[in-house]
Amino acid sequence: MWNIIKELKRKDHQRYLGGLDFFKYIGPGLLVTVGFIDPGNWASNFAAGSDFGYSLLWVVTLSTVMLIVLQHNVAHLGIVTGLCLSEAATRYTPRWVSRPILGSAVLASVSTSLAEILGGAIALQMLAGIPIMWGAILTTVLVVILLFTNSYKRIERSIIGFVSVIGLSFLYELFLVDIDWPAAARSWVIPSIPEGSLLIIMSVLGAVVMPHNLFLHSEVVQSREYNKRDDSSIRRLLKYEFYDTLFSMGVGWAINSAMILLAASTFFAGGVQVEELQQAKSLLDPLLGSQAGTIFALALLMAGLSSTVTSGMAAGSIFAGMFGESYHIKDIHSRAGILISLGVALLVIFFIGNPFKGLIISQMVLSVQLPFTVFLQVGLTSSRRVMGEYANSRWSTFVLYTIAVVVSVLNIMLLFS
């Protein structure tokens, strides 16, 4: 009897430790999450909420579902092959296919970095009155220092802290406003396309499903040494990676939804159109109290810094992969990719007249590049030559290609509109 009790206790202890295993794998997904709660998202979400109320919440839901599928699939590539998406494209596709797509992905990372740096600069202007140009320079220099001196895990810990600050900030803000929850619930699941909303829809889509994040996720999963060779380890790690992705993308969905809810309940309800993030803060002060505006600016700064770190890492991964190398901060090609992305973005900022409009357009540019990256990814993960027995099933391939087609159709609609 005593032996039976001891055996039961041992099994309970193992189950407890197995449950704790989940927390060891949290990190790569949150690095990706930061990419879609960046300042570009803030601009797109506040424009969506202030212009169209709750009606575009469905775009966040659809985008997040698409994101979970795509991010898990690309992490699958990193776990099974030990290669990031850029390395796999260089190794397994003809040069005339890989080079244009990877080149356009570098340009997309520049567009991403532009939004992130601008967001950090706007936050510094809100908090300390620093001019946008000087704030952009300061943000860029700080991020370069962070990237060139930190390891993956130190950056991960910082970013988890940043995400926590952002999430708590918006939870706090939501407690201060009156939300029409039945209307919001309907809008989360029932699509509608109000007149004149297509640019905002594409911006929200591009701000959530971001091409550079697909490259980044396939790279950073390897900081966990996911690419084990034996079958049982691979399957176990795929399971935990999926939990990490599902949890992290859920956090991102909640924060993006909170932005639209906040804008809809304050600005749309008051008939106010938000045309710059500084305006959003100044409007929140009298509506919600001075603390709300300060918390908004602080969260924006955290989002700008952390997402600029991840966009720089993604650019380094893409550029290094073009030379068949994995991302490493001491590698010359990784450093070159980071400096190209951040440097060109900073240069473009000097010629932007309307920062808020620049944020929205930068997110639309991402959605235009996205189909090329998705078609490349699905082609690789569906190939038995690349993935062996872990290649996509027919059903998975169908779902992934459907996502790529949906994004392509939306882009065509945008061009015609």
Domains and CATH numbers, the chain: 39-416 (1.20.1740.10)
Q: Give residues with Cβ within 8 angstroms of 188, minimum separation 6.
A: 57, 58, 60, 61, 257
Encode pLDDT of 91-109 as tens digits.
Answer: 999 999 999 999 999 988 8
Asked if residue 280 has pLDDT above 70, the reply is no
The percentage of the chain sitting over the pLDDT mark of 90, rounded to a whole number, equals 23
Helix (H) or strand (E) holding 409: helix 394-416
Does residue 155 or residue 249 have the better pLDDT?
Answer: 249
Helices within 264-289 (DSSP H only): 277-288
What is each CA distance from 16 to 13, 19, 75, 99, in whole angstroms?
A: 5, 5, 26, 48
Specify the amino acid at residue 117: I
User: Looking at residues 142-159, what average pLDDT do you find?
Assistant: 75
Encode pLDDT of 42-70 as tens digits.
Answer: 778 888 998 999 999 999 999 889 888 98
Q: What is the DSSP letter of 230?
A: S
User: Looking at residues 231-250, what average pLDDT do you find?
Assistant: 77
Does residue 95 or residue 2 have the better pLDDT?
Answer: 95
What is each CA distance from 175 to 158, 170, 258, 266, 281, in whole angstroms?
A: 26, 9, 11, 12, 17
The DSSP string of 1-62 is: -HHHHHHHHHHHHHHHHHHHHHHHT-SHHHHHHHHTSSHHHHHHHHHHHHHHTTTTHHHHHH
Give the chain's radius of gyration (CA, Å): 21
The average confidence (pLDDT) of the chain is: 80
Indicate the pLDDT class of residue 338, thresholds 50, 70 and 90.
Answer: very high
Specify the amino acid at residue 235: R
Q: Are 331 and 319 in contact (CB under 8 A)?
A: no
Residue 126: per-residue pLDDT = 84
Weakest mean pLDDT among 14-18, 116-120, 133-137, 379-383: 14-18
Q: Are 84 and 326 in contact (CB under 8 A)?
A: yes
Q: Are 221 and 77 in contact (CB under 8 A)?
A: no
- For 263-289, letters b (16+ CB in 10 Å) and e give bbbbbbbeeeebebbbbbbebbeebbe
Residue indicated by tokens 């999430």: 167
Residue 342: per-residue pLDDT = 95
3-class DSSP state for residue 71?
A: helix
Helices within 82-176 (DSSP H only): 85-92, 95-128, 132-149, 152-174
Structure tokens, 186: 């309907």
User: Looking at residues 262-285, what average pLDDT do you find?
Assistant: 74
